[in-house]
A and B are shown apart, each in its own frame.
Chain A
Amino acid sequence: MRPSALLFSLIAVIILVDTLFWAANRYQKKDLETKLSSQQRLVGTFGLTDLALSTEARYTRHPAVTDSVAPFMDHPGSIEHFPSGSFILPVAVVGR
């Protein structure tokens, strides 16, 4: 067998595997989206505004509704010390 034929066979296998992943993704995504949309009721009922990803500090647990100064409130000159805080941007505030 020519080496180029082997290369094209390998590319075909990768494309086939990715197509199977794509099909699995479609199936899994549909199922998960249905599950998550039922949770929208929970968000509306209790007014949940954030995802429970980083629970280490209030400004990482609820970045959308926290004061922009929350990371620096402990004392004057305080610096923030939670690592996940360095990823979180403060929300823009209307009328201020």
Chain B
Amino acid sequence: MRPPLQKQLNILDYGLRSLWQKKGRHLCVFLIFSGVIFLLASFQFMAASLTRTAELLLATVPDITVQQLSAGRQIPLAEESVAHLDSVFGISNMSPRVWGYYFDERNGANYTVIGSSTPAADPLLESLLVSGRYPVAGERAEVVLGSAVISNLDLQERNSFSLFRPDLSRISLQRVGVFRESTNLLTADLIVMSIDDARDLFAMEKHELTDLLIQVGNPTEIPTIAKKIAETIPGSRVITAEQIRKTYEAVFSFRSGFGAVCLLASLAAFVILAFDKALGFSTEDKQEVGILKILGWQTRDIMRLRFYESLATAGCAFGLGVSLAWAHILFFDGGLFRFVFLGWSVLRPSFDIVPFIQGRDILLLFSFSALPYLAATIIPAWRASIVRADSVV
């Protein structure tokens, strides 16, 4: 082995032996540091995985969604205004929809009721049901339910149940299908029924819609057509597929950012602890430096020794923390932090997320954790290395 490299290895060996001699103190720092990195990395990986999942799921979101606003609030869209859109060139398909929320007073849960036209027969769509079928055109009061709705309504094997209209009269419904639990991220709180049944449940007029879903022939024309629609229907709110996808990027990065703010505070506290610990070196430490200097060690060798000690601690803690975070996302679906992303909802369904980890996330984590630790130990290392041998030995 070349002498310079051999010298570095000898310094590293000495540093590691020195760490081992005070293993109680250093192990404690190592474990706390690994824990902080585990928390930070889990948040970062969870946010990236949720963003990726949303990107995959919402790829087929309607090109344009049109709603009606009045006094800053959403109100039903009149069916007549839809006719005005015939003059807008480039629209390939328009689907009216009635939807809203049903608040279950017994348990405080909110269900999402979707009134939609009967879907065309499609084996792929049918395969997303654990049993049954979708509502058939012409048949009234048929619904497909999400798994969380079934458990909250406590339906068990029953197919018939009733919900309340705004005037507290009951509407009887028949369960004809159940969504698979694997689709929970989309369907957990859904009650899908025909448009007429949804109007009946919400006591809406026959000519009223909640919103209008529009497909555009040429995707490059979506922004232009969206502007034309906004001009054609006064007071309308027009949302494009691109805006929906961007919303989801912002939602997750902001959520994880909120978590990261809390975790960075604990990281900052840890760095202060590391700085304080390294600064307060004991008489024994001073004597050690003095003896090393008498034996011929230079100031730079002692600084290098302290740097190797910090690098070994930070590097191993980073490796362990990131590996544990990865396992947490891969094998436990980020169970520890899910509550942050799920909110304080009554319905808390289980769902699958796509684990998604990028090199840039790892670099970011290294910059926010290991680098501050190394920086925090530089000044104490320098102060320790400039001790005069004759003053301590």
Q: Is the CB of A83 within 8 A of B343?
A: yes
Q: Is the CB of B243 within 8 A of A92?
A: yes
Tell whether A60 pairs with B183 under 8 Å between CB atoms, given A48-B61, A95-B226.
no
Task: For B185, give the chain A residue with the smallest CB separation.
Answer: A51
Question: Which of B13, B184, B237, B254 contacts A96, CB < 8 Å?
Answer: B237
Q: Is B378 an interface residue (CB 8 A)?
A: no
Q: State the interface size on chain B (CB cutoff 8 A).
A: 93
Q: Is the CB of A11 within 8 A of B239?
A: no
Please, what's the 1-or-0 string for B228-268, where 1 marks a CB less than 8 Å from any CB in chain A? 00110000011110011011101100110010000000000
Q: Is the CB of B354 within 8 A of A29?
A: yes
Q: Is the CB of B330 within 8 A of A48?
A: no
Please measure, in the bound complex, the distance between the C-alpha atom of A5 and the C-alpha atom of B330, giving whole angstroms: 31
Tell whether A95 pairs with B112 under 8 Å between CB atoms, given A60-B343, A67-B72.
no
* Chain B residues whose CB sits within 8 angstroms of the CB of A84 once the complex forms: 342-345
| Interface-facing stretch out of B157-165, B166-174, B319-327, B364-372 | B319-327
Which residues of chain A from 3 to 19 have a CB within 8 Å of any chain B CB? 3-4, 6-7, 10-11, 14-15, 17-18
Secondary structure class of chain A's binding surface, majority of residues: helix
Please measure, in the bound complex, the distance between the C-alpha atom of A60 and the C-alpha atom of B146, giving whole angstroms: 18
Question: Which of B13, B57, B238 contacts A51, CB < 8 Å?
Answer: B57
What are some 21 contacts across the A-B interface (CB < 8 A)? Answer: A7-B12, A14-B323, A25-B355, A29-B356, A39-B57, A40-B59, A42-B128, A42-B183, A45-B116, A46-B192, A47-B61, A48-B114, A49-B62, A51-B248, A52-B146, A67-B69, A73-B73, A82-B344, A84-B342, A87-B254, A94-B238
Q: Which residues of A contact B (CB under 8 A)?
A: 2-4, 6-7, 10-11, 14-15, 17-18, 21, 24-25, 28-29, 32-33, 35-58, 60-67, 69, 73, 82-84, 86-89, 91-96
